[in-house]
């Protein structure tokens, strides 16, 4: 055996070195850190405290107040453990005295706690008093003060408190970070953009202040600098991808020549809104450009994105290319297939549906009614679900890909989809209004068009919030609407992939609903109903044979039945606001007054306030901002979080200006890349 070839890989930069090379970090500690996602020295330096304690002064025990968290310092004057229930249960307790009063600290069923304390120990206690007579804190966070040189780290300053994992002591970790900082602070690389953004702290300084701030205000200043680095890194990735596309990708000319669109618009039965026309102009421009289109089309529910997709598809079809349209659910794919067949088959265009339940693509090869084909006979619009098309999509001569209801999909997935074809144009449509902060990150590589206008004649939806005990009145109201010939949705929290218990609950709900609303016909759809059954139900609902659809959030996106004017959403507290807004968008599609009734189990004023956002406004942007603020980015974008950037310091809800700044700085950095070597610290 020949000796291994000498490694050509340069040694890792200091901050990339594994943590276990640090003195005091053995295999066991390294494993504990790994559980926290901390592997290298750089990771350790970015391990973010979850709170801080001002240990320059302590609250006197005598001044503790019920329910208000505080840190106190005192001596243990008594301690002991009590066991009961035959020794199965225990409570360990010590009494702390700081000269003003005494505090009882108790731990239930953690008998090993007694190993950590001794009479006379000088102890810091952080917690929330759960009783004042006597003063008591249960399950406090504690730190025994050890006299010695280290006290400058743990006392008389604003002290970081870190997220821990089992076995990792707070005090030990703090000392490790202190020592590591002392050694590595000088080796933290700086980025050259700092010259253009002097109002930010240098990175090394920010990392020091993140752990050991001099003042409270240093904490936020440090966070902002570190968040900016995260945003810049993301922006560089986004902008680089975009640049590469512009450099390497050749687009097929797809702007068309108007001959199909004209016929299509004339047969449509309504006039496009100004907003739709404006957006189509932008799209036509892109489709004629040498670089493939990358465009996000935003428009609130009901703003008429489907027609825009259709007209865009026609441009590509006129140009002799094929088009793919992807929808997130089978229901929506089927609905689109119906709509587009109605619109396109008279024009001689083949519309294929590919979904899980239509495996051998249902290509009926229907001959067109007017026999006179206006396009190349192979011109095809292929409609399917994202999943199916992701799996193996092979449409020849693909000119345009339209992705409907994109908000469920992250950057990575979008990239995968598009790589399938040879740089087709891409139009991504979403009804979730994306707050600008998110738009710049999730969709930073896309141009954005907005349909900011609803078709004329829409009557605003009236929304009500009701407690569950008002349900009988709600049923009466729905019965009345049904008798007037209208239809309704009843939405029940999802059963799609959760337990069998949920399925039972929705079936019970179905029986109850049948009793309440008899003799009107009711049908049930959810994720576990077989596709052909679901298709039949939707068909009957569209045709008006089924009056009420009991559904889970599978109907959330895209379903379009204008005669449905009432929506009852049960357990509304379990949904995010943006999702409720989407659901509500299923009604209010015709000329009749529509009603959305949110039935919720409201336990706190905050929960009520949250849902009242929906009662107060139908503006999707306002709702999305509120959702982002109240529940975070995960809720806004749905459960499927794949492909989303994760930030340690950045926060979409508050960092809009930082994101804008990062975008500009990243642009300058890329423009001057040859003179200014990008040196973003590892993280
Ligand atoms: P969304 O943007 O939520 O996908 P749709 O495309 O489903 O909305 O459109 C909602 C309804 O409005 C459909 O029934 C559609 O035919 C209708 N519509 C679209 N554009 C117009 C318009 N300019 N005038 C009147 N109705 C329109
Ligand atoms: Mg739609």
Q: Which residue has the higher pLDDT, 283 or 196?
A: 283
- Would you state the pLDDT for residue 385? 83
Q: Which residue has the higher pLDDT, 664 or 411?
A: 664
Is residue 404 domain-resident? Answer: yes
Considering the domain architecture, whether residues 494 and 586 belong to the same structural domain is answered as: yes
Considering the domain architecture, whether residues 528 and 409 belong to the same structural domain is answered as: no
Range of the structural domain that residue 519 is part of: 462-617
Q: Is the pLDDT of residue 504 over 80?
A: no
Q: Which residue has the higher pLDDT, 8 or 113?
A: 113
Is residue 579 domain-resident? Answer: yes
Separation of CA 454 and ligand 1 centre (Å): 8
pLDDT, tens digit, 9 for 90 and up, residues 632-641: 655 555 544 4
Considering the domain architecture, whether residues 300 and 391 belong to the same structural domain is answered as: yes
**Closest ligand 1 atom number to CA of residue 306:** 6
Task: Name which residue sits closest to atom 20 of ligand 1, judged by CA.
Answer: 304
Cα distance between residue 583 and residue 634, in whole Å: 18
Is residue 397 domain-resident? Answer: yes
Q: Is 213 in contact with 224 (CB distance < 8 Å)?
A: no
Is residue 439 domain-resident? Answer: yes
Distances in Å between the Cα of 678 and the Cα atoms of 205, 231, 232, 343, 672 are 19, 14, 11, 52, 10
Determine which of 104-113, 476-485, 492-501 has the lowest per-residue pLDDT on average: 492-501
Average pLDDT over residues 25-47: 92
- Would you state the pLDDT for residue 150? 65
- Would you state the pLDDT for residue 331? 79
Task: Name which residue sits closest to atom 5 of ligand 1, judged by CA.
Answer: 304
Considering the domain architecture, whether residues 432 and 503 belong to the same structural domain is answered as: no
Considering the domain architecture, whether residues 336 and 376 belong to the same structural domain is answered as: yes
Greatest mean pLDDT among 403-407, 409-413, 625-629 lies in: 625-629
The DSSP line for 581-605 is: HHHHTTSS-SSS--EEEEE----SH
- Would you state the pLDDT for residue 553? 66
Q: Is 304 in contact with 508 (CB distance < 8 Å)?
A: no
Is residue 499 domain-resident? Answer: yes
Total domains, the chain: 2
Separation of CA 430 and ligand 1 centre (Å): 14
Is residue 250 domain-resident? Answer: no
Tokens 């036509």 sit on residue: 284
- Would you state the pLDDT for residue 377? 53
Q: Is the pLDDT of residue 371 over 50?
A: no
- The residue out of 451, 479, 513 marking a domain boundary is 451
- Would you state the pLDDT for residue 364? 38
pLDDT, tens digit, 9 for 90 and up, residues 589-632: 777 899 999 998 888 888 888 899 999 988 887 888 787 777 66
Q: What are phi and psi of 199, to 5 degrees?
A: -75, -10
Determine which of 36-45, 469-478, 644-653, 663-672 has the lowest per-residue pLDDT on average: 644-653
Q: Which residue has the higher pLDDT, 195 or 34?
A: 34
Distances in Å between the Cα of 397 and the Cα atoms of 205, 293, 351, 352, 411 are 55, 16, 15, 15, 24
Instruction: Please work out whether the CB of residue 272 comes within 6 Å of at least one atom of ligand 1.
Output: yes
pLDDT, tens digit, 9 for 90 and up, residues 244-272: 877 888 888 999 999 999 999 999 999 99
Q: Is the pLDDT of residue 195 over 50?
A: yes
- Would you state the pLDDT for residue 202? 94
Between helix 531-543 and helix 330-344 the angle, nearest 10°, is 50
Instruction: Please work out whether the CB of residue 299 comes within 6 Å of at least one atom of ligand 1.
Output: yes
**Closest ligand 1 atom number to CA of residue 305:** 2
- List the one residue out of 431, 441, 375 whose CA is nearest residue 403: 431
Cα distance between residue 595 and residue 211, in whole Å: 53
Tokens 């009242």 sit on residue: 612
Instruction: Please work out whether the CB of residue 306 comes within 6 Å of at least one atom of ligand 1.
Output: yes
**Closest ligand 1 atom number to CA of residue 271:** 23
Under the banding of pLDDT at 50, 70 and 90, the label for residue 500 is low
Considering the domain architecture, whether residues 430 and 516 belong to the same structural domain is answered as: no
Which token pair is 124? Answer: 């810091």
Average pLDDT over residues 670-675: 70
Considering the domain architecture, whether residues 569 and 431 belong to the same structural domain is answered as: no
Q: Is 78 in contact with 118 (CB distance < 8 Å)?
A: no
Mean per-residue pLDDT of the chain: 83
Is residue 651 domain-resident? Answer: no
Considering the domain architecture, whether residues 537 and 422 belong to the same structural domain is answered as: no
Cα distance between residue 498 and residue 284, in whole Å: 44
Separation of CA 203 and ligand 1 centre (Å): 50
Which token pair is 154? Answer: 């743990």
Name the helix (H) or strand (E) containing 53: strand 51-54
Separation of CA 313 and ligand 2 centre (Å): 15
- Would you state the pLDDT for residue 391? 60
Considering the domain architecture, whether residues 328 and 405 belong to the same structural domain is answered as: yes
- Would you state the pLDDT for residue 420? 53
- The residue out of 423, 451, 479 marking a domain boundary is 451
Stated pTM of the model: 0.68
Within 10 angstroms of residue 226's Cβ, the number of other Cβ atoms is 24
- Environment class of 50 (CB within 10 Å of its CB; exposed 0-12, middle 13-18, buried 19+): exposed
pLDDT, tens digit, 9 for 90 and up, residues 122-142: 999 999 999 999 999 999 988
Considering the domain architecture, whether residues 310 and 412 belong to the same structural domain is answered as: yes
- Would you state the pLDDT for residue 522? 94
Considering the domain architecture, whether residues 485 and 345 belong to the same structural domain is answered as: no
Strands 158-161 and 51-54, how do they pair? Answer: antiparallel
Beta-sheet strands, E only, within 63-213: 70-84, 89-97, 102-108, 122-127, 131-132, 135-138, 141-144, 158-161
Considering the domain architecture, whether residues 504 and 543 belong to the same structural domain is answered as: yes
Task: Name which residue sits closest to atom 13 of ligand 1, judged by CA.
Answer: 304
Give the contacts of 286 (CB within 8 A, at least 6 positions apart): 293, 295, 425, 447
Q: Encode 462-486: b = buried (16+ Cβ within 10 Å), e = exposed.
A: ebebbeeeebeebbebbbebbeeeb
User: Which residues are placed with Cβ below 5 angstroms of ligand 2, an ion?
Assistant: 558
Cα distance between residue 212 and residue 508, in whole Å: 57
Q: Is 413 in contact with 401 (CB distance < 8 Å)?
A: no
Q: Is the pLDDT of residue 18 over 60?
A: yes
Find the CATH number of the domain harbouring 347: 3.40.50.300
Q: Which residue has the higher pLDDT, 158 or 602?
A: 158
Cα distance between residue 534 and residue 616, in whole Å: 34
Distances in Å between the Cα of 203 and the Cα atoms of 228, 229, 367, 664, 680 are 10, 9, 67, 19, 10
Is residue 299 domain-resident? Answer: yes
- Would you state the pLDDT for residue 520? 93
Cα distance between residue 264 and residue 287, in whole Å: 19
Q: Is 336 in contact with 383 (CB distance < 8 Å)?
A: yes
Q: Which residue has the higher pLDDT, 605 or 8?
A: 605
Determine which of 110-114, 438-442, 679-683 has the lowest per-residue pLDDT on average: 679-683
- The residue out of 410, 432, 451 marking a domain boundary is 451
Separation of CA 305 and ligand 1 centre (Å): 7
Average pLDDT over residues 50-74: 92
- Would you state the pLDDT for residue 87? 82
Q: Which residue has the higher pLDDT, 579 or 285?
A: 285
Cα distance between residue 236 and residue 234, in whole Å: 5
- Would you state the pLDDT for residue 640? 42
- List the one residue out of 575, 549, 576, 578 whose CA is nearest residue 561: 549
Q: What are phi and psi of 492, to 5 degrees?
A: -125, 140
């Amino acid at each position: 055996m020949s000796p291994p070839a000498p490694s050509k890989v340069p040694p890792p930069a200091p901050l990339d070195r594994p943590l276990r090379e640090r003195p005091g970090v053995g295999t066991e500690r390294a494993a504990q850190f790994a559980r926290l996602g901390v592997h290298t020295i750089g990771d350790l330096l970015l391990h973010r405290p979850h709170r801080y304690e001002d240990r320059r002064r302590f609250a006197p025990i005598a001044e503790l107040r019920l329910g208000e968290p505080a840190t106190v310092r005192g001596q243990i004057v008594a301690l002991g453990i009590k066991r009961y229930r035959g020794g199965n249960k225990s409570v360990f307790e010590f009494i702390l005295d700081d000269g003003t009063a005494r505090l009882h600290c108790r731990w239930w069923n953690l008998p090993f706690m007694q190993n950590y304390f001794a009479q006379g120990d000088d102890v810091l206690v952080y917690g929330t008093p759960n009783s004042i007579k006597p003063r008591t804190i249960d399950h406090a966070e504690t730190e025994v003060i050890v006299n010695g040189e280290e006290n400058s780290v743990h006392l008389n300053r604003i002290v970081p408190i870190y997220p821990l994992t089992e076995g990792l002591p707070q005090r030990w970790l703090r000392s490790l970070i202190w020592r590591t900082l002392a050694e590595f602070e000088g080796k933290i690389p700086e980025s050259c953009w700092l010259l253009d953004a002097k109002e930010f702290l240098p990175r090394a300084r920010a990392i020091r202040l993140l752990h050991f701030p001099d003042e409270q205000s240093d904490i936020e200043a440090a966070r902002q600098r570190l968040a900016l680095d995260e945003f810049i890194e993301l922006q560089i990735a986004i902008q680089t991808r975009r640049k590469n596309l512009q450099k390497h990708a050749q687009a097929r000319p797809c702007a068309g020549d108007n001959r199909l669109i004209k016929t299509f618009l004339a047969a449509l039965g309504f006039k496009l809104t100004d907003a739709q026309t404006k957006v189509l102009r932008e799209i036509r421009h892109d489709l004629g450009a040498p670089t493939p289109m990358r465009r996000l089309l935003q428009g609130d529910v009901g703003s008429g994105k489907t027609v825009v997709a259709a007209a865009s598809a026609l441009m590509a079809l006129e140009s002799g290319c094929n088009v793919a349209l992807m929808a997130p659910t089978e229901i929506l794919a089927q609905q689109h297939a119906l709509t587009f067949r109605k619109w396109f088959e008279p024009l001689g265009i083949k519309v294929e549906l590919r979904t899980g339940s239509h495996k051998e693509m249902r290509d009926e090869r229907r001959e067109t009614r007017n026999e006179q084909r206006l396009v190349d006979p192979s011109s095809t619009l292929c409609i399917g679900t994202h999943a199916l098309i992701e799996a193996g999509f092979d449409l020849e001569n693909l000119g345009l890909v339209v992705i409907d209801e994109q908000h469920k999909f992250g950057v990575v997935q979008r990239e995968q989809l598009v790589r399938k074809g040879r740089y087709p144009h891409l139009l991504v449509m979403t009804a979730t209004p994306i707050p600008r902060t998110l738009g710049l990150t999730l969709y930073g590589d896309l141009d954005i068009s907005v349909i900011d206008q609803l078709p004329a004649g829409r009557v605003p939806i009236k929304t009500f919030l009701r407690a569950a005990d008002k349900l009988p009145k709600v049923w009466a109201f729905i019965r009345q609407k049904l008798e007037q010939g209208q239809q309704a949705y009843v939405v029940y929290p999802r059963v799609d992939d959760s337990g069998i218990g949920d399925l039972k609950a929705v079936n019970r709900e179905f029986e109850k609903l049948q009793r309440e609303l008899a003799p009107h016909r009711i049908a049930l759809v959810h994720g576990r109903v077989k596709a052909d059954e679901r298709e039949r139900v939707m068909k009957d609902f569209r045709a008006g044979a089924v009056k009420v659809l009991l559904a889970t959030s599978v109907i959330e996106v895209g379903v379009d039945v204008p005669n449905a004017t009432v929506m009852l959403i049960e357990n509304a507290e379990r949904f995010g606001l943006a999702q409720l807004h989407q659901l509500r968008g299923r009604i209010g599609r015709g000329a009749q007054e529509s009603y959305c009734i949110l039935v919720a189990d409201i336990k706190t004023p905050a929960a009520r306030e949250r849902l009242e956002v929906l009662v107060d406004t139908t503006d999707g942007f306002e709702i999305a901002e509120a959702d982002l603020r109240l529940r975070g980015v995960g809720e806004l974008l749905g459960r499927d979080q794949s492909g989303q950037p994760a930030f340690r310091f950045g926060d979409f809800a508050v960092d809009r200006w930082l994101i804008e700044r990062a975008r500009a700085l990243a642009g300058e950095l890329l423009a001057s890349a040859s003179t200014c070597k990008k040196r973003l610290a590892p993280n």
